[in-house]
Amino acid sequence: MEKKSIKDTGLHLLKKGQKGLIHAIFSRFGIIILLFALQLAVLFLTFGWFHSFMSQLFFGGVIISLCVSFYILNTRIDPTAKLTWIILVMAVPVFGSLLFFYTEFEVGHRAFRDRIRDIVDSTEDKIPQEKQVLENFIKEDPGAASIAHYLQRTGCFPVYDKTEVSYLHIGEDMFDEVLNQLKKARHFIFLEYFIIDEGIMWGKVLEILAEKVKQGVDVRVMYDGTNEFLTLPRDYPERLEKLGIKCKVFAPLTPFISTHYNYRDHRKIMVIDGNIAFTGGINFADRYINKTAVHGHWKDTGVMLRGRAVKSFTLLFLQMWNIDEKEPEYDRFIKFPSLAPEDAKGYVIPYGDNPLDRDKVGEMVYMDILNRSKRYVHIMTPYLILDGEMETAIKFAAERGVEVSIILPGVPDKLAAYALAKSHYEVLLDAGVNIYEYDPGFIHAKSFVADDTEGVVGTINLDYRSLYHHFECAAYCYKTSGIEDVEKDFQETLKKCRKITKETIWKNNPKLKYLSFIIKVFAPLL
């Protein structure tokens, strides 16, 4: 493991960030935690008061649980989540009912939800679909082109040609390419990431960003609010502003309990001059380039787009950036001329998934690939916590003769998620799905590739968090230059994996079986 120098960590640019438990206690975070605790105490005391009247409320609880259960059955909630809520309501009628309606009525984030919807509606025509490109796609493959119609209906996600796709099979390679492209920036740099952590990786990026600001480049950084508590000091935006870097925090922690915290910005987007874009699983923290090794070797992937399709990632970034802007600006950046590679083959559709609408875009794209596949579907994902529809789609593809293979982590980062993934193994194996675990460490890649023709690389895991609760993004690619590389990387990764059989599912840790049995019913809420 390399020792970090001051220059490597970027601390010659910024004063050392204060983090950790002691800082959290004696800071604004301490106040937030205290207020959270007080609110929870009030709730529990209220429930305790109700318990003193349990004999009188017993029959009332039965009536409440039945009424709420009937209500849940008639909502548009995912069927698996309905079962979870009904069990919770039946077990603890008062608490379960209050918790359900608290989340159902979107306490604390209705204004935020409405703002997001307004932004999506107002930008649905910002990037017009080139009619000829769509017609060419339909002529080449009507089945694959149907996903273009679906994505265009759910947001401003046109299909593009003349976009070069470079697949980056490991975090170290993507990091090198990011540094190379950042140095070439002349006009603007947009970064939207789930995790930013001080260290070698972010330090080197920060050096370039600070230098680019001096050259007149418009640099904007946005990260998810969980970083304020876990990885970055509370005043990080102000400290970046002093370097000339515009910075925003998505959904920062506040002293009030709210369903807002259930929706995190899990996207990873970098846009440079409207001509280069990066996405994938890789955040800005040293474990993503194996400078630290908490869970063994960290296997992650990404893609770099060059050309017309970058416009969509520019729009995705600006939609999030403009949530709190009174006069949002789009056209100047979206219409920035891109250098379209004339010899680039295939079609690309960058897209995002928004948890505040009724469209499960990430899941639908994955299921469409599974349903249309003819020979194989190869998947890499760090988590496997499936709803009924996705599990059925994976099983059905295998049962109709498609070779479906999934690579998952061999060294888990979260024990509960690992146990839940294993709870799906047996039913998938019975359907003919091949399951592998990555022996050297942790798989964080999120990729689908099918039949040597199409695939997806992005931020969308196969779990409830990504498919239902997070803001996500990805690039759908059809016969682009990167498709062959995605499949090649899958085969190379497969050589470092152990194949799972029904006999070996729980072999290394049989206690996980009991853990999965207990927590599976609550999987939609995790």
CA-CA-CA-CA dihedral for 412, 414, 419, 420, to nearest 10: -120
Spatial CB neighbours of 62, under 8 Å, sequence gap ≥ 6: 93
- In single-letter form, the type of residue at position 319 comes to Q
Assign 22 a pLDDT band (cuts: 50, 70, 90). very low
What's the pLDDT at 24? 44
Centre a 10 Å sphere on the Cβ of residue 502 and count the other Cβ atoms it contains.
Answer: 10
**Strand order from edge to edge, sheet including 163-168:** 163-168, 302-307, 276-280, 269-272, 188-193, 218-224, 246-250
Q: Which of 10-14, 256-260, 411-415 has the lowest mean pLDDT?
A: 256-260
The two structure tokens encoding residue 376:
């194989």
Q: Is the pLDDT of residue 387 over 70?
A: yes
- In this structure, which long-range contacts are made by residues 41-44, counting pairs with CB atoms below 8 Å and at least 24 apart in sequence? none
Domain layout of the chain by residue ranges:
21-108, 111-352, 361-525
What's the pLDDT at 1? 45
What's the pLDDT at 21? 45
Q: Is the pLDDT of residue 41 over 90?
A: no
Q: Is the pLDDT of residue 370 over 90?
A: yes
Bigger pLDDT: 506 or 428? Answer: 428
Q: What is the mean pLDDT of residues 17-34?
A: 47
What's the pLDDT at 116? 84
Q: Is the pLDDT of residue 29 over 50?
A: no
Winning range, highest mean pLDDT, from 259-268, 352-361, 437-446, 465-474: 437-446
What's the pLDDT at 278? 98
What's the pLDDT at 378? 98
How many angstroms separate the Cα of 365 from the Cα of each of 27, 186, 302, 489, 499? Answer: 43, 35, 18, 21, 27
Sign of CA dihedral 250, 252, 258, 259: positive
What's the pLDDT at 34? 59
pLDDT digits (tens, 9 = 90+) for 489-510: 999 999 999 999 999 998 877 7
Cα separation of 4 and 157, whole Å?
41
Residue 175: what are its φ and ψ, rounded to 5°?
A: -60, -45
What's the pLDDT at 36? 54
How many angstroms separate the Cα of 86 from the Cα of each of 80, 96, 516? Answer: 10, 9, 19
Q: What is the mean pLDDT of residues 38-49?
A: 62
Cα separation of 22 and 29, whole Å?
10
Assign 68 a pLDDT band (cuts: 50, 70, 90). confident
Winning range, highest mean pLDDT, from 39-43, 87-91, 361-365: 361-365
Residue % of the chain over a pLDDT of 90: 60
The two structure tokens encoding residue 325:
């802007």
Q: Is the pLDDT of residue 157 over 90?
A: yes
The two structure tokens encoding residue 97:
């009912």
Do the first three CATH levels of 111-352 and 361-525 match, i.e. the same topology? Answer: yes
Q: Is the pLDDT of residue 9 over 70?
A: no
Element (H, E) at 280: strand 276-280
Length of the chain: 526
Q: Is the pLDDT of residue 226 over 90?
A: no
Average pLDDT over the chain, rounded to an integer: 86
pLDDT digits (tens, 9 = 90+) for 74-114: 877 777 778 777 877 777 777 777 777 777 766 656 777 78
CATH superfamily for domain 111-352:
Endonuclease Chain A (3.30.870.10)
Cα separation of 104 and 88, whole Å?
14
- Topology annotation, domain 361-525: Endonuclease; Chain A (3.30.870)
β-pairing, 264-265 vs 470-478, is: parallel
Cα separation of 88 and 67, whole Å?
14
Assign 392 a pLDDT band (cuts: 50, 70, 90). very high
Packing angle, helices 415-430 and 511-519, rounded to 10: 90
